[in-house]
A and B are shown apart, each in its own frame.
Chain A
Amino acid sequence: MECHDLTVTYDRKPVLYGIDCCIPAGSLVGVLGPNGAGKSTLLKAALGLIPVSGGYVEMFGQPQGKVSRRVGYVPQRESVDWDFPVTVMDVVLMGRYGRLGLFRRPRKADREIAERSLEKVQMLGYADRQIGQLSGGQQQRVFLARALAQECDLYLMDEPFAAVDAATERAVIGLLREMRESGKTVLVVHHDLITAPTYFDRLLLLNLRCVAYGLTSEVWTPENLHQTYGGQMTVLSELALQSVAKVH
């Protein structure tokens, strides 16, 4: 996936400005930045969900619209209504819809793929539950299973670690690493500065513009973090700075 001079504006105010990056296949990339830095906006613009006012994004050397089947998306958990009258299985099957085409119903093969995806996130036992009965971590895993069912090569995930329990967090990072081993590219919006350097091989530090992008060992420096978080340094980010010392 490549971004060239990507710019997005809301009401003429730039919320992302001149993003340039090239993400090689088979990498696990963390996108970090303070609130309002444009992390989610970057994903949405890359997926064509919001209009881009300048620059372009290419995936597999082509514009996103042409390769939408090869790109999986995990939106923020709060972006949907969890009271919606569908079961876990229904949600995971939605991952297959892009491949089905008009007028086609999911078939047995699609169900098997959905079941396998649920198994990978240890949620197969919940297939017939209504989604409102799930805990936050379980909801997040259902979203991941849905993305897996899409069977893509590139995944864009918006805060899959937000407000999940420790077990889910371990399961998710295990899964992400497994995906990387099998050659998939995964881009993850993340906000935990403590775990970030250990989870990802590449980092994209974002604050309206791209502060730094590259291999974690090169990018993870106190200067870059200060530049990204500026005055918004919190206790957490201070802790992260200490972890920088450990990395180097």
Chain B
Amino acid sequence: MSAMILAEGLIPPFHLQRFLRDPWVNGAWENTMWILLLSVLIGLCCGLVGNFLLLRRMALTGDAISHSVLPGLVLGYVIFDSLDPWVMIGGAAVAGVGAVMLIELLHQKSRLKTDAATGVAFTTFFALGVLLIRRFANQVHLDVDCVLFGRLEFTVFDTMDTPFGPMPVSVVKLLWITLGCLLLLALFYKELLITSFDAGLAKALGLPSRVIHLGLMTVTSVIVVASLESVGAVLVVGMIIVPPATARLMAERLPRLLILTAVLVVIGSLLGTHLATWLNTPLAASIMAASGAVFFLVWMITWLKKFR
């Protein structure tokens, strides 16, 4: 009995109307649309680089970068005294790539393996970031909660004028970044493919594998910091890893993997937004939970298929 009461307290009764219709009724639909668009854009960027990180067995480098960008953000703000998104992105990219290079240096010049080196570098960077935030607390409008968990529901209120009417600043920012990512992917697709599959051959062919590697790390840092404000450091990692991992269960070819990732991102965002309205829970976490649920569903289906 008590278990039922507990369940009732945890989960509000399921109203199809509340789950499906409420986000789209008169007052709410515009907001829902922007939130959905924003989370799809974030998911697309993260999923794109995430696929390549996974293929390079660097899934947790995404984690490392998402935490390491923090001191870059704060220092960017302190040095340039501006909250301009491009200053933040620049600072974060420097910190992110710096952390990756530190990890490689530690790995090469000590007996530490990459996992330990990654652990040392990103926790130190993150701690440094927290210290910096506290130290410059009265100047910096960054709070640790926002960095960790994001605030997807509020980022859409901050609008700017565009040729298409007022749009949330974060959506405009992410639109540019998504376009940039797609362009870079189209231009460097074959280099990304060969350096991920066989770095030795890429080097022997005289391809700039080092530049490609650092480029991917820079792009990852940029994406992470652009998404950070909305979904937070912890969930950025989920966005980078979960949709590509789900796609990997289903696809055997890279182009299909990328397309499937995009589809999964849309499904996860839709489900998550509705879930958040029904359960009245934070958006970013709901989207992540929905994506996680989709992953386990797909995994179970592929697993059961093997027994047929």
Contacts and interface: CB of A to CB of B under 8 A. Distances in A.
B197 interface: yes
B204 A47 contact: yes
Nearest to A94: B194
Interface stretch (B41-49, B64-72, B247-255, B294-302): B247-255
Nearest to B254: A85
Interface of A is mostly: mixed
Nearest to A65: B206
A68 B205 contact: yes
A73 B204 contact: yes
Interface in A54-88: 65, 68-69, 71, 73, 75, 79-81, 84-87
Interface string B247-280: 0100111101100000000000000000000000
B10 interface: no
Contacts, number: 76
Contact of B198 (A79, A100, A132): A79
A130 B251 CA distance: 10
Given A79-B198, A94-B193, A100-B190, A85 B204 contact: no
A49 interface: yes
B200 interface: yes
Contacts of A184: none
B55 A97 contact: no
B190 A97 contact: yes
B3 interface: no
Interface residues of A, number: 31
Contacts of A97: 190-191, 194, 202, 205, 207
A48 B209 CA distance: 13
Nearest to A150: B205
Given A69-B206, A98-B205, A86 B200 contact: no
B201 interface: yes
A91 interface: yes
A169 interface: no
Contact of B253 (A80, A87, A150): A87
Contact of B204 (A71, A84, A87, A106): A71
Contacts of B203: 47-49
B187 interface: yes
B37 to A, nearest CB: 29
Contact of B193 (A73, A86, A103): A86
A79 B190 CA distance: 19
A85 B205 contact: no
A85 B252 contact: yes
B55 to A, nearest CB: 7
A48 B204 contact: yes
A102 B206 CA distance: 11
B201 A94 contact: yes
A87 B107 CA distance: 33
Nearest to A76: B200
B248 to A, nearest CB: 7
A94 B197 contact: yes
A73 B190 contact: no
Contact of A80 (B187, B198, B206): B198
> Lowest 10 A-B CB distances belong to which pairs?
A98-B205, A68-B206, A130-B252, A73-B204, A47-B204, A80-B198, A85-B254, A94-B194, A75-B200, A84-B197
Interface of B: 55, 57, 187-191, 193-194, 196-198, 200-207, 248, 251-254, 256-257
14 contacts: A44-B200, A47-B200, A49-B200, A69-B205, A69-B206, A73-B201, A75-B198, A84-B197, A87-B253, A90-B254, A97-B207, A98-B205, A98-B207, A130-B253
